[in-house]
Amino acid sequence: MTPPAPAKIRVFIVDDSPIVRRGLIAVMEEDEQAPRIEVVGEAGTVAQAIQSIRALRPDLALIDVRLPDGLGLAVCEAIEAEHMPVQRLVITSYSNDEYVRDAIAAGALGYVLKDVDPTSLLAAVRTCATGQSALDQETIGRVVRFLQAESRREPSVVDQLSAQERKVLELVAAGRTNSEAAALLGLSPHTVKNHLAKIFDKLGVGNRAEAVAFLLRNEQAP
């Protein structure tokens, strides 16, 4: 079941370019569709972003990949590590597979390029704010192809997973919710939840993001 849309979406923007930040703010705050989007803060570095997000607790952080003091994915990871109730949407000029995989592993629910049209960007913001994936089919395909390539490697801890568990993990890595994965696999959401619990136990991780991170970061594609 899709979570209900909030009355207002509070967004924090992370980008090193003041001009880009101004443009994003204009696109969001001039849009009159519901739920309305309110930009509650902005930052140009990883350090500034983490500090401000801790204090403001926005509904969603819109994060660029490359920042002066590191990768914006560090902001995603900090949100995940500190269990902040903040959704993450990556916006960047870079479309390489490594960034896409790392963004998803860090808990990002969407990955859009800066040449995205305003309507699509706003739709992605509203989708991610409810905790749903806003990954397009091309991005999902990249992640799935990586997982499939990894599965042909030499045996590893990932080989402890059953075929069904592998399918569940592939869908989770592609940004699918438990309900979406269940529908695609012809299972109940409860069964998918049980599969995830077994995956976490076999991989020695505690949540979805850690499971995807384990697979994408510790198992290198050929």
H-type alpha helices, 65-188: 73-81, 97-105, 118-129, 137-151, 163-173, 178-185
Helix (H) or strand (E) holding 5: none
Please check whether residues 21 and 121 belong to one and the same domain. Answer: yes
Q: Is the Cβ–Cβ distance between 45 and 72 less than 8 Å? A: no
CATH of the domain at 58: 3.40.50.2300
Residue ranges making up the domain that contains 83: 8-135
Token pair of 187 as six digits: 């299972």
This prediction has a pTM of 0.67
Please check whether residues 144 and 193 belong to one and the same domain. Answer: yes
CATH of the domain at 171: 1.10.10.10
**Radius of gyration, CA atoms only, the chain:** 17
High-pLDDT (> 70) share of the chain, %: 84
Helix (H) or strand (E) holding 7: none
- What three-state secondary structure class fits 63? strand
Give the least confident one: 57-71, 75-89, 204-218.
204-218
Please check whether residues 102 and 194 belong to one and the same domain. Answer: no
Question: Average per-residue pLDDT in the chain?
Answer: 85
Average of per-residue pLDDT across 76-83: 90
Please check whether residues 60 and 131 belong to one and the same domain. Answer: yes
User: Is residue 3 situated within a structural domain?
Assistant: no
Residue ending a domain, choose from 112, 135, 158: 135
Number of domain units in the chain: 2
Average of per-residue pLDDT across 89-95: 89
Question: What pLDDT score was predicted for residue 153?
Answer: 52
Question: What pLDDT score was predicted for residue 52?
Answer: 97
DSSP 72: T
Burial class (CB in 10 A: 0-12, 13-18, 19+), 175: buried
